Structure 1
């Protein structure tokens, strides 16, 4: 026989059913959360670098390696092929202008100079001999011309007398013709002697001029040899430090070979080298920051060298403090060439996560989860990067290498 269930029992059963359902749902949620924790990757916040986006100023710069070099440096080379005779200075020594550094064997130059001097003496003797010969010929022709002039005067007097007598019939026509021809013959001889005298003078003057020209050439050659002789006395071109020296006595040197180098003291500039990929972005006048340890020096690009070697472009940097105590010859420094400057822009610390300019996928950390977000990166100075879009001030970015999570859209960040 059926009995009626009391409302109290029905109510208790409903509570039990609700509790059972709630327990099942809680169990399922806990299992799902545990499964998600087990499957979804996570990263320890202590194992990554996280940077906060901030507002600041940035100078877009290109990094280069640099070496400190003297502003003024001169090299002294050997004028001839010879050997080192004697060394008077030491490498690294401070020298004064004109100070003797070393001497080169000058015997070949001395012999060459003596030979030229002998040739000069020969030319002097030749010029003197030609002058005497010309004077002697001039005297001989002058005497002959004077005699011919006398003969011409006598022949003309005789011709005049015959012409008078011919009118009176005292002289034959044949005698008159002979007298006329004799005058013409003497006139021709006289003209020939004058021409010969002029020709002799022209030829002799030409020979003398040739000898004088040869003498001038020899004098220049002698002057060159004397200059070479002076250069065998290798002296400091200016006051500075002797940074290179051919210090081995008796060592052979060829023509043009470096034997000494003098560099200016305490006045330096920087020679920077970088990839030719950046060549178009470089120009004279760009600001430069030179760093060595904790020391930072300002400067600017003096000139960009036009030649590119092995994919490397070089430029010279002038410093605002070229006499700084930190600077040393051949000291290696870090160089940052500023190509662009921006103010009040979004910045983040630089890191491996950034790769040049343009759109990039970067993880932004919010509420313990790093979500991949597309950011547009702009300028960089090697320490900070500019964020053009995709983030706001205060956002936290993972700037360390996240390549292992490149296939993920999000990653949990655990403390």
Structure 2
């Protein structure tokens, strides 16, 4: 049989329920108030890098990568096919101009050279012989001309005598005609000899020139052989450091193959590479900034390779201080080629966050206790500054260190420096 519950018990149970509802409401209100605050991250101010937005000159530049190489590097090649007999130096040695580096087996080349020397002497003797023969032949022909001239002179005298006798009545007309015919014939023969002598002079002179030209051509070939033989005495062309050398004694080297490399390690240049999309912004004569560690070296683009390969263009930077102590051959560096200058531009410091012109979400310091995410539009950059196009104003303090781990936050509490 059911019994009626007392009113006091019902009232007590009702108060407990309402008390529970009130506690739940208080907890809900507290959660709404405190949970966003608890979700805000906290970061130490001393762990961040800040940049204050300012206004000034911005040298717009193109970023590229590069490598330090010796300003003067000379490759030594073998001018002949030969075998390495001896090696006198090793990589890393300092060498003076004319220092022997390698010895090649040049016996066959030397034999060929001496053979050419003998052939040169033979050609010279043939030329001398031809010159003497020409002089003898032309001398005989000149003598014939003189003899014929004397004969013509005697014929002329005979003709005058016959004409004189004919005028006195002691001669005859036939004898005068015979004398005239003999004289005219002698004159023609003299003219023929003189013409022959002139022609023979030209022919013999041309023959002599041909032989002289053949000798000159052969001497040039001999000179080339001599130069090849001298070049085969592999020596350092300058005072430098021997950076590479073929030390395999007994190995065969082909003509034009590299056997050694000498480099002037007191002066350097930078060989740079950039995307070919920047080809219209990198030109010879442009100023450049090279970052060697934390040191900045200025220079100028001295040359640009006209062709690109695999989407990469190459260029060379001549440094103002090419003998800086920080420069080392093979060292990788960052290059910034300046292609424009903008005055009165809003700027912030360049950092790892910047990957090109566009929109970014950066944290801006507001007051002394928090960072607020803000959408910012950035433009071109220099090697150490970035142009601000929108979203920031002069005097704003922006975080420029890596904040990728906080990208899901809109606000960050800032712990002040202790």
Give the TM-score taking structure 1 as reference length: 0.76
Structure 1 residues 222 and 110, CA gap change in structure 2 (3 angstroms):
same
Structure 1 residues 290 and 318, CA gap change in structure 2 (3 angstroms):
farther
Deviation, 1:130, is 2.2
Structure 1 window deviating more from structure 2 (265-274 vs 190-199): it is 265-274
Partner of 1:54: 52
Partner of 2:152: 152
> Structure 1 residue 44 and structure 2 residue 45: aligned?
no
Alignment of 1:332-371 (within 5 A): 332-337=332-337, 345=346, 347=348, 350-352=351-353, 355-362=355-362
- SS of 2:234 mapped into structure 1: strand
Partner of 2:3: none
Deviation, 1:402, is 7.4
Partner of 1:374: 375
Q: Distance in 2 between matches of 1:397 and 1:297?
A: 24
Structure 1 residues 61 and 400, CA gap change in structure 2 (3 angstroms):
farther
Partner of 2:403: 400
> Structure 1 residue 84 and structure 2 residue 84: aligned?
yes
Deviation, 1:336, is 4.5
Q: Distance in 2 between matches of 1:145 and 1:395?
A: 112
Q: Distance in 2 between matches of 1:157 and 1:384?
A: 113
Partner of 2:292: 291
Contiguous gaps of at least 5 residues in structure 2: 1-17
What is the CA deviation profile of residues 373-414 of structure 1, one whole-angstrom value per residue up to 9, with x for unaligned ones? 432224545776454432354556696237975xxxx84657
Q: Distance in 2 between matches of 1:168 and 1:287?
A: 113
Structure 1 residues 175 and 349, CA gap change in structure 2 (3 angstroms):
closer
Structure 1 residues 147 and 264, CA gap change in structure 2 (3 angstroms):
closer
Partner of 2:310: 310
Alignment of 1:216-295 (within 5 A): 216-282=216-282, 284=285, 286-292=287-293, 295=294
Contact 1:81–1:255 (8 Å) recurs in 2: yes
Deviation, 1:92, is 1.2
- SS of 2:305 mapped into structure 1: strand
Structure 1 window deviating more from structure 2 (119-128 vs 335-344): it is 335-344
Partner of 1:102: 102
Structure 1 residues 31 and 126, CA gap change in structure 2 (3 angstroms):
same
Contact 2:96–2:240 (8 Å) recurs in 1: yes
> Structure 1 residue 208 and structure 2 residue 208: aligned?
yes
Contiguous gaps of at least 5 residues in structure 1: 1-19
What is the CA deviation profile of residues 295-325 of structure 1, one whole-angstrom value per residue up to 9, with x for unaligned ones? 5242223424233332223333344554444
- SS of 1:73 mapped into structure 2: strand
Give the TM-score taking structure 2 as reference length: 0.75
For these two proteins, the number of residue pairs brought into alignment is 386
Structure 1 residues 187 and 326, CA gap change in structure 2 (3 angstroms):
same
- SS of 1:267 mapped into structure 2: strand
Structure 1 residues 64 and 47, CA gap change in structure 2 (3 angstroms):
farther
> Structure 1 residue 191 and structure 2 residue 194: aligned?
no
Deviation, 1:335, is 3.9
Deviation, 1:95, is 0.7
> Structure 1 residue 130 and structure 2 residue 133: aligned?
no
Structure 1 window deviating more from structure 2 (320-329 vs 33-42): it is 33-42
How large is the RMSD of aligned CA atoms in angstroms? Answer: 4.0
- SS of 1:158 mapped into structure 2: helix
